[in-house]
Structure 1
Amino acid sequence: MSDHTHGAGSAGPSHRAVETGVGIGMAVFALIVIAGSIKAGIGWGAEGPKAGFFPFYVGLIILVCSIVNVVQVRTERSRGDLFADWGQIRQVLAVVIPSTIYVAVVPWTGIYFASAALIGFFMRRLGNYAWSLILPIAIGVPLAFFIVFERWFLVPLPKGPIEAWLGY
């Protein structure tokens, strides 16, 4: 039994495979939440619920729903149709992978440098814009956010070594 549909130009994962994968991923996430909640304490203390009380039950609900979804999709007969072809998945990954890298590097580079790099990357790679347009936008947007959040609203956002070098 294959979880992939095959045909002219329609190669890619099936709905069943994708929904099963997402369900299992959500179940793993729920188990991590439940384990962390148990570690923090899920009981009721003198002051009220302990830190893990509500996350535990949210994790439990997510786990039950994930199990129901996986069982349901595995027992259906009509969900073997194509979810997306590999070309479409590549287009999605062209955005998801750089965005994930962006989130991962923000703690080390700060949000402003990482944002400038991400905007510049997307404009060049996906938009094929000229550097004469990329540079002012990639620098200007994070600069505008810096002025709005750091100066006007006095809301500090994650900063990296460049901001420290500039005295912020």
Structure 2
Amino acid sequence: MTSPAETEAPRGLARRPVERIVALVLIALAAIVLYDSYGRGAGWDNGPENGFFPARVGWIFLAASLFILVQSLRSPQDGVFVTYEQLGQVTRVLGPLILFVALIQPLGLYVASSVFILVFMSIVATSRWWSIVLTAILVPLACFWVFELQFRVPLPKGPLETALGY
């Protein structure tokens, strides 16, 4: 005997509307690429102009996006693309990632990475607090040593690095 919860269809976002929205976003991105490419010059004048190759990629991208849209219009109405539970799991990852990107400019890459690791591991991981803090300190320090000191690759820095003379 099955319970009502087992026979109930999973609730979430339907597949067709999601496919259509994604296709329209991709079409808009392709249009932006094409607009910019032709604004830079997408012809061939004694060699390729600045926008020549991006324009070709933009046309391929547009064709693929239109194909996705047509397929979504022709496909039968079926199923759930993502359940609300799965969407919650994506949000648990996406939220800290958005925070990380927003903090890079004001705090620098290394401090933002530290904050990201603290938040992400606190939400997702089941680690002890001291291992989370240790990871949030050691990983950005190791990255700083590799990129700034060994490879001399300048990455975005914030007030902490400026105060330390970097």
Separation of aligned partners in 2, 1:9 and 1:97: 28
User: Identity over the aligned pairs, expressed in percent?
Assistant: 40
For the aligned residues, what is the CA RMSD?
1.7
Structure 1 residue aligned with 2:61: 62
Separation of aligned partners in 1, 2:59 and 2:97: 29
What 5-or-longer segments of structure 2 have no aligned partner?
1-6
| Cα-to-partner distance string for 1:8-60 (whole Å, 9 max, x where unaligned) | 251111221222121111111111111111221112234x2111111111111
Residue 166 (structure 1) shift: 1.0
How many positions carry a matched residue from both structures?
A: 160
Q: TM-score scaled by structure 1? A: 0.87
Structure 1 residue aligned with 2:160: 162
Structure 2 residue aligned with 1:100: 98
What 5-or-longer segments of structure 1 have no aligned partner?
1-6
Separation of aligned partners in 2, 1:81 and 1:156: 48
Residue 63 (structure 1) shift: 0.8
Structure 2 residue aligned with 1:37: 37
Does the CA contact (< 8 Å) of 2:115 and 2:136 recur in 1?
Answer: yes
Which of structure 1's runs of 4+ aligned residues deviate more than 6 A? none
User: Any residues of structure 2 matched to 1:1-168 within 5 Å, and which?
Assistant: 8=8, 10-46=10-46, 48-77=47-76, 79-168=77-166
Amino acid corresponding to residue 119 of structure 2 in structure 1: F
Separation of aligned partners in 1, 2:40 and 2:102: 26
Moved more, 21-30 or 103-112: 103-112
Q: TM-score scaled by structure 2? A: 0.88
